[in-house]
Chain A
Amino acid sequence: MEAAIFSFCADPASLEGVRWLACYVTTGKHANLYYATGTVLLLLAITAPTALAFGFGGAVAARSRIWPLNWIGKGYIAIVRGVPDIAFFLFFVIALDQLFEAIRHKIKCPEWDQPIWQGNDFVVCRQAKLPLGNDPQWVHDAYSFMLAVLTFSIVFGAFAANVLYGAMRAVPRAQIETAEAYGMTARQTFRRILIPQMWVYAVPGLSNLWMVLTKATPLLFLLGVEDIVYWARELGGSANPRFTDYPHGDWRMWYFLALLVFYLGLTKISEVFLERLMKRLTHGQATTGGDARRHTA
């Protein structure tokens, strides 16, 4: 038995009440749940700005007057928004992983004469594996995590692109015309007038996206990343005394209740933050929201 956090955990069968619970929630198996919570929060922290960057790129491309760019932007938005998330996750991620491996295979093993596809099997040489079979488990975990961030960013980026595209169009035309009348170039108008003013129109849509993203993490398990919902189900399932020192019945309800509290807390924190952000962004701006603030402040 591995060293427990509390000294009295050596013999779980003799424990009762609070002490039993203290030992129970500090098992190595529960540590996985806490670790998964960290993974989910880290994923959200990295994915949100990355998706926003994808969205910004998509929106700018879709607005562009240069046709291939405009085409790419609109195509990206339409295709990704149109494909169900779960199909995207199952197909795209495996395909992406195989694409990386196929490229590495071409570079690293040019003398390889067998086909990459052998019946059902996708076979590349050992050196082309990503990550390598020899790599420690954390490299595999980090790689799946990176694929997850990339996939989430592409999916949510497309929705963000549509929100930003709409927001850019919502900025009053008069503002742009005034900027042009002052002799600003198109680039200056974009950076000084359009971008600062569009956020107020974008934030409500983006905040919706953020809320959806926080709850989309169970899709992670499709990529082999174990998220909190997976561990809640695994830990909550009834534990037979033959296989654990902490037997219990079907406790999934309690674990899911804890998840509920976690997600509601996350929602509350997000709402407070987004409310503040909205106030800052509407400050002094010629919108109804900004106007109301000017009179009260």
Chain B
Amino acid sequence: MKTLMASTAAFAMMAGLAMAQDVVRLGTEGAYPPWNFINDQGEVDGFERDLGDELCDRAELNCEWVTTDWDSIIPNLVSGNYDAIIAGMSITDEREEVIDFTQNYTPPDPSSYVGLSDDVDVENGVIAAQSGTIQASHVAETGATLVEFATPEETIAAVRNGEADAVLADRSYLAPLVEDDAELRFVAEDVELGGGVAMGLRESDDELRETFDAAIQSMKDDGSLNELIEKWDVSSTF
């Protein structure tokens, strides 16, 4: 115990010496292509990687990427393990109670159902969704039976192996999968959920929120945000 305490203290001192430019740590999931994923080189990649790097450039911030579990992404933000969430997170009232959002960087976009056959009853069947998402809350409100999974990957696997009749997720996440797999298809009608995707920040961190807000606005104004959205095909444009 003593040596552990001593090494903590040593660590603390070492850390104290290294004061340089302020680093803003960006938290993401790294498992939600095309929004964010880990590429072959083992680095964070995707729409939000490009977006986050550009925003930090414009705001003259020194940013660093951190990956974390989706389930603990908000608790880790509020306890200060990173400074902003940039992980395909839609603005909802529930989340607004705990954290603050910047303005959205993609417009509110439809969520889609994907299943194996066209006659899936999405109102009364078994529907898979990633836990803690707007889609999961939506399914819970319909008459369907909700099965939740920790990662988006598992929700698709549940449909493939028949555990669920369909999966409800962002259309942009499902589109490349449907294109790639002859068995999967879009079923039923799209639903409109959430208020668009935005960065999440601590409620006490107004300054950083305003900085990112301004950077997003400048990207909206000069059209570079729309270019990025089209490049990664994540949503409709502004």
Contact = CB atoms under 8 A, between A and B. Distances in A.
Interface of A: 1-2, 27-32, 50, 54, 57, 94, 97-98, 100-101, 104, 118-124, 126-127, 129-135, 137, 139-140, 142-143, 146, 149-150, 153, 221-222, 224, 226, 233-234, 237-238, 240-246, 250, 252
Nearest to B64: A137
Nearest to B42: A28
Given A146-B7, A222-B69, A237-B153, A121 B15 contact: no
Contacts of A101: 80
Nearest to B232: A242
B76 to A, nearest CB: 7
Nearest to A94: B79
A104 B64 contact: no
B148 interface: no
Nearest to B67: A226
Contacts of B16: 127, 132
B7 A28 contact: no
A226 B76 CA distance: 15
Interface string B13-53: 01110111111110000110110011111110110000000
Contacts, number: 136
A228 to B, nearest CB: 15
Given A54-B1, A150-B4, A241-B180, 16 more contacts: A29-B41, A29-B42, A101-B80, A119-B203, A121-B80, A123-B80, A123-B202, A127-B16, A132-B15, A142-B11, A146-B4, A224-B68, A238-B156, A243-B34, A243-B45, A243-B176
Contact of B25 (A104, A133, A242): A133
Given A131-B15, A240-B177, A120 B78 contact: yes
B38 A123 contact: no
Contacts of A244: 39-40
27 contacts: A1-B41, A30-B42, A98-B79, A100-B8, A101-B80, A104-B12, A118-B203, A121-B205, A122-B78, A127-B19, A134-B20, A134-B22, A135-B15, A135-B23, A146-B4, A146-B7, A222-B69, A224-B76, A233-B151, A234-B38, A240-B176, A241-B180, A242-B34, A243-B34, A243-B45, A244-B40, A245-B40
